Structure 1
Amino acid sequence: MKKGLRWGLWGILLAGIIGYSIYTMLQPLKAELIEVHPQTIAKTFREEGVVVPKLEKEIYASLGGKVTVVNVEVGQDISKGDLVVQLDTEEIGHQLNQLRGQLASVEGQELQAFRQPYGSQVAQQQLAIQQAEVQLDAARKEFDRVKALHQAGAVSQETYDQAEIAVKQAENLLFQQEQALMLLMEQSDPPTGTREQFSGLRQALAAQIALLESQLAKGKIYAPMDGKIKTVNVKEGEVIAAGTPIAGIFRPGGYDVEVFLLAEDVVQVKPGMKVKVIQESNAKDTAYEGTVAKVAPAASEKQSALGLVERRVKVTVDLDGDVNTLRPGYTLDVEFTTHRQEGKLVVPKTVVFPYDKGDAVWVVREGKAVIQPVTTGLETGTDVVIEEGLQSGDRVIINPKLEGLKEGKKVAG
């Protein structure tokens, strides 16, 4: 009796198990489904960039010396022509005054060397020549008279000789007066080369003066454009060398983003490409539209956040729209879209699994699970395009490894 009861209980238990198993098998499998429809898919990558002004200039010292005045501070608005920094040029001023004095002295010496005789001296000597000419003319006429008388025997030889001597004396006197005038004029004409010597001295001093005047002007450094002071690199009292960067100035309101890309990424980036620029914030991220303006022709070495030296190419992105909230030096994420396809059936990459030397997905047709071979296309980090095998409206099982999933199994989404 007891043995029969025991067997009866075992029979009831077995029947319950079999019944539950049959019930479970007949129940549809609960699975998460997605319904595919044509959509846009884009392959993108992100890289960090830095905001830089479209227009900025570094101001350098063209002259070395001691900084006496720093007239600006970081963040200050400035206009073109405003004084930025002044250097000590007192020594240059002294040298300049000394050279100007030397030039004045040389010019004075030149005037003395080439001075003209006084007009009264010339006039007096010319009058003396005229008088000598009159005396010579009178002496010659007297000689002609005496000569005629001498030939007639009316005068002695002595008288004749005296008349002849008087002519020669008058000729000598005229010659002496003419020579005196020539000497007077020659005294105003220095030796050959004197004029060239003074010209060379004047040119040399003028060149030195021009150089010092240029250096003196460089002692005051002015803003080359309207803008805002970005950096100030010197302090009052500091001694700097020529070529030292003094300050940086930029024009607010117009900004670019400079981003350095790896060589394998930059190959697909071209000028004119549209990009998305994201400024992350604790409250809400801000997105800007941008356009690739320039791609550098060569790579340069950059150090990564991990300390690795990488070869990267600089890409300049032109920002569109209102960017007044940005400031130079801000870091932004730049999203580049290298591929975009419209009207494609797209599924998560995790739903695709290897099948019969190809790929497949689980779909639900007429309420049952079916393995659907597919041909994949463009892939992104999370999604993949199904080129063949699916139609719009197909429902795809998200988890291909779902427990109990097999072909023909009823599925409830």
Structure 2
Amino acid sequence: MRAIVSGLAACLLLGACSGEPEVPAPPPVQVRTITVAPQEIPNVVELPGRVEPVRVAEVRARVTGIVQERLYQEGSDVRQGQPLFRIDPRELRAASAQTQAALARAQATATNARAVVERYRPLVAENAISGQEFDAALAASREAQASVAQIRAQLDAAQLQLGYTTVRAPISGRAGRAEITEGALVSQAEGTLMTRIEQISPVYVSFAQAASEVLQLRRAVAEGTVKLDANDRVEVRLTFSDGTAYPVPGFIDFLAFSVDQQTGTVELRAEFPNPQALLLPGEFVRAQIFAGEVRRGLTVPQRAVSLTEEGGTVFVVDGEGMAAIRPVKLGALVGGNWIVESGLKAGDRVIVSNLQKIRPGVPVQIANTPTGRRPAAAPTGQGQTQSAGGAR
């Protein structure tokens, strides 16, 4: 009997040893989270823009002649009134001298006619000459004076034309390349283009915003979801194509009150100081327009967001203590925080650490849960409710 029991126990023990051991559950990943909470955040609109000079002057020929000399260096800064070209002045100088001689002759004739009138005046009083003769002398004197005035005007015009042989800068700015060379014939009638001058300090940056977004912002302001301050300025910040930020902010200074029929957009323009000429006319930049603040907006730290072609994703802690992936629609990046337009709600716990160790469905253990903080306050310009995009 003992042998049977011992054999049975041995078989049971052998069967137990041949089974696979149970795999222990992985330990939860230690993570840090923030709790998303509504707060006032900047209402930021991102738009592409193009740099434009504040003033552009086309330097054209105002007289006909041969260009003798270029007096400026192409691409250099010039001041208003600075000589740029010299056109051969000899023909116009001769015409001016001819007109000067005609004026001298007319002045002599007028002096003689005036002397005749003075001689006739006492004689007509004594009836030594007829009144008709005196009237004729008086008319001749007036005609001579009118001729003097006419030729003097012709001389002024001739001297003005002579002055145009030195082509001067109409504004201060940066002069472009010369469109003509020495020896070229320029024409007054055709207004031959000689060069261009662009004033690039300050500069304008122009944008086009969808009319629907302008309407959306107006409604948000009317409903109170977007708050504008009272300084009557909307601040704009620029980013170059290589991702670097332009250090000086600008402000919206123009808003069109009509919609482009072809594009359905409204034109906006901001003015920027450009003391170092970093902004060049024709350059495309990315702009962030700060149009007030959203009263109950949501943000998450930049480190918590993974960017995809469709937008962004974040990991949140679900009700069972597991990591869950959540797609989000992102707005602007302000102060190291992404503005979240949709995909999250107040109270969601967003994971901000150990993101490389977690996957959807992995259990997590929250180390601490500080509440969400407001992004670093970027200066916000307000005013002009039509000048920025939809409420965030």
**Structure-1-length-normalised TM-score:** 0.55
Deviations 1:57-91 (A, max 9, x none): 54444334432222112233444443112223433
Which residue of the other structure, out of 360, 368, 389, is the alignment partner of 2:321?
A: 368
- Distance, in Å, in 1 between the alignment partners of 2:54 and 2:294 is 33
Report whether the alignment pairs 1:334 with 2:287.
yes
Task: Please name the residue that 1:72 is paired with.
Answer: 72
- Structure 2 letter corresponding to 1:237: G
Deviation at 1:96, TM superposition (A): 2.8
Secondary structure of the corresponding residue to residue 175 of structure 2: strand
- Structure 2 letter corresponding to 1:35: I
Structure 2 gap segments, 5+ residues each: 1-10, 120-125, 219-227, 307-314, 333-337, 367-392
Deviations 1:269-315 (A, max 9, x none): 9972223222355xx8344241223234267989xxxxxx8465554
- Distance, in Å, in 2 between the alignment partners of 1:314 and 1:231 is 31
Task: Please name the residue that 1:247 is paired with.
Answer: 195
CA 1:388–1:108 in 2, change beyond 3 Å: closer, same or farther?
closer
Secondary structure of the corresponding residue to residue 213 of structure 1: helix
Q: Superposition pairs for residues 136-215 of structure 1, below 5 Å? A: 182=128, 190=136, 193-215=139-161
More helix by percentage: 1
- Distance, in Å, in 1 between the alignment partners of 2:130 and 2:204 is 83
Q: Is the 8 A contact 2:236 2:289 kept in 1?
A: yes
Deviations 1:178-235 (A, max 9, x none): xx99369998874563334333333332332222222222222223455543443332
Q: Is the 8 A contact 1:70 1:236 kept in 2?
A: yes
- Distance, in Å, in 2 between the alignment partners of 1:370 and 1:188 is 117
- Structure 2 letter corresponding to 1:234: I
- Structure 2 letter corresponding to 1:272: R
CA 1:346–1:15 in 2, change beyond 3 Å: closer, same or farther?
farther
- Distance, in Å, in 1 between the alignment partners of 2:51 and 2:290 is 20
- Distance, in Å, in 2 between the alignment partners of 1:103 and 1:92 is 16
Task: Please name the residue that 2:377 is paired with.
Answer: none
Provide the aligned length of Structure 1 versus Structure 2.
312
- Structure 2 letter corresponding to 1:68: Q
Q: Is the 8 A contact 1:258 1:316 kept in 2?
A: yes
Q: Superposition pairs for residues 1-400 of structure 1, below 5 Å? A: 15-16=19-20, 20=22, 23=23, 26-27=25-26, 34-36=33-35, 44-53=44-53, 57-112=57-112, 115-116=115-116, 182=128, 190=136, 193-224=139-170, 227-242=173-188, 243-249=191-197, 254-264=201-211, 267=214, 272-281=233-242, 285-297=244-256, 310=263, 313-319=266-272, 323-324=275-276, 326-329=278-281, 330-338=283-291, 340-341=293-294, 346=299, 363=317, 368-369=321-322, 380=331, 383-384=340-341, 386-390=344-348
User: Which structure has the larger Rg?
Assistant: 1
Secondary structure of the corresponding residue to residue 287 of structure 2: strand
Deviations 1:128-166 (A, max 9, x none): xxxxxxxxxxxxxxxxxxxxxxxxxxxxxxxxxxxxxxx
Task: Please name the residue that 1:163 is paired with.
Answer: none
Task: Please name the residue that 2:221 is paired with.
Answer: none
Deviation at 1:324, TM superposition (A): 1.7
Secondary structure of the corresponding residue to residue 277 of structure 1: strand
**Structure-2-length-normalised TM-score:** 0.57
Q: Is the 8 A contact 1:114 1:188 kept in 2?
A: no
CA 1:240–1:29 in 2, change beyond 3 Å: closer, same or farther?
same
- Percent identical: 15
Q: Is the 8 A contact 2:74 2:176 kept in 1?
A: yes
Structure 1 gap segments, 5+ residues each: 1-6, 120-179, 303-308, 351-360
- Distance, in Å, in 1 between the alignment partners of 2:347 and 2:279 is 51
Q: Is the 8 A contact 1:51 1:256 kept in 2?
A: yes
Deviations 1:91-148 (A, max 9, x none): 333333333333333444445556559x9xxxxxxxxxxxxxxxxxxxxxxxxxxxxx
- Structure 2 letter corresponding to 1:293: I
Q: Is the 8 A contact 1:43 1:380 kept in 2?
A: no
Task: Please name the residue that 1:156 is paired with.
Answer: none
- Distance, in Å, in 2 between the alignment partners of 1:114 and 1:346 is 92
Deviation at 1:370, TM superposition (A): 9.7
CA 1:211–1:236 in 2, change beyond 3 Å: closer, same or farther?
same
Task: Please name the residue that 1:306 is paired with.
Answer: none
Q: Is the 8 A contact 2:322 2:360 kept in 1?
A: no
Secondary structure of the corresponding residue to residue 68 of structure 1: strand
- Structure 1 letter corresponding to 2:251: V
- Distance, in Å, in 2 between the alignment partners of 1:226 and 1:49 is 25
Q: Superposition pairs for residues 395-406 of structure 1, below 5 Å? A: none
